[in-house]
Structure 1
Amino acid sequence: MNEKRLNEIKARKAEIRTLLEDTSKDVNLEEINSELDNLDKEQRTLEKRAEIAQKLETGELEPDNAEKAPGLDDDEEEGGKEMNTEERKTKMSKEVRSFLKYMITGGRETRGVTLTNGQAVVPEELDDEIITEMREVSDVINFINLKNVRGTLRVGNLSAIGANKDKDGDAITANGGVTGDVTFGSYRTSAKIELGVGLDTESLDAFKEIVVSELALALAIELESEVMTGTGTNEAEGLFVAELPAAQKVSVKLSEFGHKALSSIKGKIRRAYGKRASYVVNTETFHDLIEGMVGTDGHPIYNESTEMLLKKPVIISDEAPKNKILFGYGKRYWYNYNMAPQVASSEHEKFSEGMIVHRALAFGDGHVMDSKAFAILEITADSASSNTEVKG
């Protein structure tokens, strides 16, 4: 009976693997994960019962002396010391440790989610750490509104909402608000790293840091690039590419660029947005033109200790276009991961080279949700006869 049920469980897992590999079909990952967890639990129970029965049959185990399977309890550390709640939180889950051990040693992945091509799917806990790491390496990701809504996300396109002055009993009319809708697509970003099998001498914690950090950095750079300059065609719409009202676009010649020009774009968006707004500047443009600039009082306009520019936060990005400066409320830009970053690993792809390949995939799209929340200052070149000295 046990053998029959074990075969049924293995057959169902094979069906799920086939379903996961078929990208043309939508699947409910939460339901699949839940089902796989239940199947794993049942499989372990059946296998343990079969193991005990076998030992009883061979005389290796006496019924009255049956003990728990060797290993530490969930709440116990080596040496029998009980862990408190905080210590438990800091420990990697058994699921994560199992997956990482699979990646390092090429051993059997015990979650039960192993694709037919030999790839193991990373536990959700490690996927979450990739998002956390991305936020740590990219200020742009913290600037925008990052969502994780599975499937097709369709939301209203906002404009600034105004109140009306009317009399009691008058009909209430809309003044701004939702002006249409925006449908978020599903565009892929990916990253891949290859690590030698010699890393099996590394500790699990160190190995996890390598995988998470490298994949997160690669995905963060790509996401930041799309958020800054994405064309909106087969990729996200970038902040510097989105169409803004003419009144929110300012142009200044290089010789006339100074702190007054930087201040001027602060007045191009509503105060309600401006109170929570930040500057976004290309790294080279910032260091060449802004970092040492002083105001009329002779003091620097950029405070290095607080990272504030004209008393506003400034986000410095390698991916922002040169000679363009954005000022706006980043939460009015949405980027939705309809499939958040997920990692798979394979020891077969480069087996002959002694490499283990780790790949991260994510699907998402980004849009400006309220064009009135942003303004852009463009610095243009002077004519050949103009003085190119930058003003303070």
Structure 2
Amino acid sequence: MNKQKKFRFALNLQTFSGGTEGQARLNEIETRKAEIRSLLEGDTEIDVDALETELRSLQAEEKEVRSSERRAALAAGIQDGTIEPRQTGNPFTPGDAPDPAKEARRAREERGKALKEQRAVTVGASTVVLPKHYASDIRPTFNEVSTLIDRVTHKPLLGGESFEQPYIKGYGTADYTAEGANYADAEPVFGKAQISKAKITAYAEDSEEIQKLAAADYDSHVMAGVTVATRKKITREILIGDGTTNHLAGIFSAAATAIDAATDLEVSEIDEFTLDEILFSYGGDEDVEDAAVLILNKKDLKAFATLRNSESKKVYDVKANGNSGTIDGVPYIINSACKAVSDATTATGQYSMAYGPLSNYMLTIFSDIDVQRSTDYKFKTGMIAHRSSVFVGGNVVTKNGFLRVKKAAAV
């Protein structure tokens, strides 16, 4: 479209709008809107809710009238040759064909709005309809999956059933030997961590109305939700899985045979000595381990962060970054499967924390996660099924790879 045609169209639109009934109605709306604003800002006793409702109705009607005027002007321009008709894109501006994904989303939103507006309510005795407005996006919730699942050791064994991971339990010690006598026995001692297959599944349904008519894309969130549910379960089982048939062996489980229960630490409360007790209780007799992570409940993290000394100064320097952070430079990860020491409802003997390198826990992947959608199961009722499944296994694969902290009886 050349500049001359654009100018002619602008004149056409202005002329067309100025002498129509629509323009008269727009003037009435502007006048009434000004009256309502004056009443709302004044001191006269009024029904605020009724006026605000009327104002919203006028704004909606104004938008519809202007849209109608614009469409009518476009039609007039095409008819008299001042506007070139287009097959695709915006008729007012040049451009490429629309994005199919955006067009599909816009069409879905329009269908959803049209369906819902059938339930709109008539205001008073007039014919003005107050429409309801619906968002086209869905706001997320708080994170429900601990990053623990992403930071342990992953070992892909696609198609497998079980796995044994050997580890060293300890080395022998040499000794003095007399001439001609036998050499001192100093054989290393080995152990094995058994990891067996466990099937973890998630299932959800939604209706075809949700998929086809809703303004917001609920269906994709339902689809993604089954994957989130699967990860949520696995990251908890890394700690509390009981190791029975079709279950992971969690760090707190007796099935984690690499950990000697005699090394468990008991803590009755979080005080100024707690972190040092954990750090120096972990590892062998010859060194203090580094590159380890403390796994704990958010309530206990709060107890560390809010602990004050006799001078009301913070005892620990806690730096939080979402699901992880540091306590006096010691990395931590929050996992709600831990029972908080600081929680009065936590029973004596329940596990509350674990400390050690996360690589000491192995998560074996026996299959890729499989996420599917199906309309067959409840075809007659128009329900859409979503499911995910994965075969995994897990266990501690290092001798005393984690220090486990239990809640002790109050002193």
What TM-score comes out, normalization by structure 1 length?
0.54
SS of 2:366's equivalent in the other structure is strand
Shift of 1:315: 1.0
1:292 corresponding residue in structure 2: 306
In percent, how many aligned pairs have the same letter? 19
Pair 1:174–1:194, CA change in 2 (3 A): same
1:333 corresponding residue in structure 2: 361
**Higher RCO structure, 1 or 2 (CA under 8 Å, sep 6+):** 1
Is the Cα contact below 8 Å between 2:152 and 2:361 reproduced in 1? yes
Equivalent residue runs for 1:267-346 within 5 Å: 267-270=280-283, 274-287=289-302, 289-294=303-308, 298-305=313-320, 307-323=325-341, 324-346=352-374
Q: Which amino acid aligns with 1:268?
A: S
Could you tell me which of 241, 244, 252 is aligned with 1:240? Answer: 252
| Cα RMSD (Å) | 4.1
Name which of structure 1's ranges 315-324 and 230-239 shifts more when overlaid on structure 2. 315-324
**Unmatched tracts of structure 1, length 5 or more:** 1-77, 81-91, 93-134, 387-392
Shift of 1:311: 1.2
2:203 corresponding residue in structure 1: 192
1:146 corresponding residue in structure 2: 154
Q: What are the Cα deviations for residues 205-230 of structure 1, in whole angstroms up to 9, with x where unaligned?
A: 95785245311221122112211111
Q: Which amino acid aligns with 1:248?
A: T
Q: What are the Cα deviations for residues 96-128 of structure 1, in whole angstroms up to 9, with x where unaligned?
A: xxxxxxxxxxxxxxxxxxxxxxxxxxxxxxxxx
Q: Which amino acid aligns with 2:334?
A: I
Q: What are the Cα deviations for residues 154-192 of structure 1, in whole angstroms up to 9, with x where unaligned?
A: 3333136669889xxx9996545xx24334222111101
Shift of 1:346: 1.6
**Unmatched tracts of structure 2, length 5 or more:** 1-94, 102-142, 176-182, 342-351
2: CA distance, partners of 1:360 / 1:281: 29
Q: Which amino acid aligns with 2:221?
A: I
Q: Which amino acid aligns with 1:159?
A: I
2:81 corresponding residue in structure 1: none
Q: What are the Cα deviations for residues 273-296 of structure 1, in whole angstroms up to 9, with x where unaligned?
A: 832111111233433x33312479
1:158 corresponding residue in structure 2: 167
Pair 1:184–1:373, CA change in 2 (3 A): closer
2: CA distance, partners of 1:335 / 1:359: 22
Shift of 1:194: 1.1
SS of 2:266's equivalent in the other structure is strand
Equivalent residue runs for 1:62-141 within 5 Å: 137-141=145-149
Is the Cα contact below 8 Å between 1:251 and 1:377 reproduced in 2? yes
What TM-score comes out, normalization by structure 2 length?
0.51
Structure with the largest fraction of helix: 1
Pair 1:376–1:198, CA change in 2 (3 A): same
1:372 corresponding residue in structure 2: 400
SS of 1:259's equivalent in the other structure is coil
Is the Cα contact below 8 Å between 2:279 and 2:288 reproduced in 1? no
Pair 1:293–1:361, CA change in 2 (3 A): same
SS of 1:222's equivalent in the other structure is helix
